[in-house]
Amino acid sequence: MFLLLLLTLLMASLPPWSSGAIPEPPRPTDSSSEQMQKCVAGFCLPHDYAKLETPKMDHVNVVNVNTDIMDVLTVNDKEFSVTLTMYFSVKWEEPRLVTNLSLTDGEWVPVDLNFLSHLWVPNIFIYDLRSFSALNVLKKLAGIWIVHTAKDVYHIYYNQATAVTFLCPMRSVIRVARFWSVELTHRIGCILK
């Protein structure tokens, strides 16, 4: 009887989450943390951040696209297409990021790939595109970095391993594989040389 009474008293004095309910984390109380919406690796988005608005509303938003071709997988002269594996990279300035980190010029900070879903992302159009697929091993082979380029200037850099198929009109079938190249100055696509 004494043991039963002792066990009842101990159960009554346990915290509420010991029964399986998980306690809610404490909420920040200072005003600066209430103004931030999402944070990752020391970088935060302001509470009024709108991902559908371009980073610079009054200026041109420069978006750099770069490809590093790894391999030419197929050249199909019947379908007029070429399939490549490449690293597809996109970089743009995001002046709305806020941080207290002390970074040097040119420093790259890797961040969680899920942070991209909270950011404004440029809409890239690829001419003559037939298919574009991300390469996966255990998960998508991609990464996102925040690059510090000057005083309080930050760029978002996104890199993804892809397999891309372009439609390319071929006028000559003689040694076609030697004539493929990708031109990136104004458009992405196939150019016969």
- Res. 184: pLDDT tops 90: no
What are the boundaries of each domain within the chain?
63-179
> Is the alpha carbon torsion for 175, 163, 68, 139 positive or negative?
negative
> Is the alpha carbon torsion for 111, 112, 116, 117 positive or negative?
negative
Supply angle C-alpha 189, 116, 184, rounded to 5: 15
pLDDT in tens, 56-90: 989 999 999 999 999 999 998 888 899 999 999 99
Fold annotation for 63-179: Acetylcholine Binding Protein; Chain: A, (2.70.170)
Strand partners, 110: 145
Q: Per the structure block, which two tokens stand in for 27?
A: 């909420």
More confident residue, 193 or 69: 69
The pLDDT score that the predictor gives to residue 35 is: 61
9-13, 29-33, 143-147: range with highest mean pLDDT: 143-147
More confident residue, 9 or 146: 146
